[in-house]
Amino acid sequence: MSRGISLAPCGLVIERVESEADKLVLVARPMSKTAVCPTCGGVSTHVHSQYQRALSDLPSQGRLVRIKLCTRRFRCAVTECHQKIFTERLEATTSRPFARRTRRLEGIVHHVGLALGGRPGQSIARCLLLPVSKDTLLRVVRRNAPRPDLAPRVVGIDDWAWKRGHRYGTIICDLEKRRIIDILPDREAATVTAWLAEHPTISVIARDRGAGYIRAAGEGHPEAVQVADRWHLMENVSAAFLSAVQRSMRAIRTAVGAGVVDPTLLSCAERRQHVGWLRRQEENAAILALASQGIAIKEIVRTDPTPSRRSTLAI
């Protein structure tokens, strides 16, 4: 396929070129026969499986260009490595891992975003046959912005589910940069204390109101200001409010005169609920009337006017 080689981004071999109405499709594969495990750095030649990955590339001849890339999964040959299977990575100059654009297209998108911003950049990008939205333009600019690697000052600490309901760790975020800093293997106070002790620049710790993280923050950084984070405060307030309302529902209904319900104002689901509630009220009244006449419970059950509902009744 020498005809197509010049079209290929670095490190790819083009198998064939398919021409569609408004775009060219390059069917390609990586040039390398081996892949490097991203976890241990071991080189592997054992292909496990493959799948097709789609990449957008620079336009050509007035048409969009899509690359259908045959991507392989490899088995890691290093016995001690916990990453048994991994997906091969392209060269850094070709594409980022899991990206949907080639690096050279992303470079153009970045420059358009820098020069024009979101919405104006989107209009120009459309004219240049660059398949990106205004949000993507801004995202690419942000992603490529230099990040000063300052030590964290304000952090948030919370539970992190490795497997929900089974295994939990601790997630620590830099609240100023809005980035995850670290994920600890468990949520033990001692682990969090040790982590905080290694980061003396922290001055504010946002955490939930559980005793574990309060103790960890106090021991790891006694001088830091501890604050209950907004999400947990709102969650606790919401739960407390609902609980208080539910406890006082009878009094509230009486106070607002909501004992009388207009069925025409209810939705279908609310109407069904209301009809069920009326039926239960009627059954309870009938049972209480029989009980007041001195009739035994067993006898009431036998003479209940709505036997199908007998199991749900309560005196």
Q: Which residues bind Zn ion (CB under 5 A)?
A: 37, 39-40, 42, 76, 78, 81, 83
Structure tokens at 117: 């911003």
Least distance in angstroms from the C-beta of 38 to Zn ion: 8
Least distance in angstroms from the C-beta of 120 to Zn ion: 46
Pick between residue 86 and residue 195 the one whose CB is nearest to Zn ion.
Answer: 86
Pick between residue 74 and residue 195 the one whose CB is nearest to Zn ion.
Answer: 74
How are strands ordered across the β-sheet holding 225-228? 179-184, 167-174, 154-163, 204-207, 225-228
With DSSP H G I counted as helix, E B as strand and the rest as coil, what are the percentages for the chain, rounded to 5? 40, 25, 35
Least distance in angstroms from the C-beta of 99 to Zn ion: 22
Pick between residue 38 and residue 120 the one whose CB is nearest to Zn ion.
Answer: 38
Least distance in angstroms from the C-beta of 76 to Zn ion: 3
Pick between residue 84 and residue 302 the one whose CB is nearest to Zn ion.
Answer: 84
Least distance in angstroms from the C-beta of 49 to Zn ion: 17
Least distance in angstroms from the C-beta of 80 to Zn ion: 8
Q: Containing H/E element for 172?
A: strand 167-174
Pick between residue 40 and residue 261 the one whose CB is nearest to Zn ion.
Answer: 40
Side chain identity at 183, as an amino acid letter? I
Least distance in angstroms from the C-beta of 72 to Zn ion: 15
Over the range 261-297, which residues count as b (16 or more CB within 10 Å of their CB) and which as e? eeeeeeeeeeeeeeeeeeeeeebeebbeebeeeeeee
The alpha carbon torsion through 117, 96, 145, 153 (nearest 10 deg) reads: 130
CB atoms within 10 A of CB 299: 12
Rounded to whole angstroms, the Cα distance separating 116 from 163 reads 43
Pick between residue 10 and residue 81 the one whose CB is nearest to Zn ion.
Answer: 81
Pick between residue 78 and residue 138 the one whose CB is nearest to Zn ion.
Answer: 78
Handedness of CA 305, 311, 314, 315 (dihedral sign): positive
The separation between CA 199 and the C-alpha centre of its own chain, rounded to angstroms, equals 27
Side chain identity at 136, as an amino acid letter? T
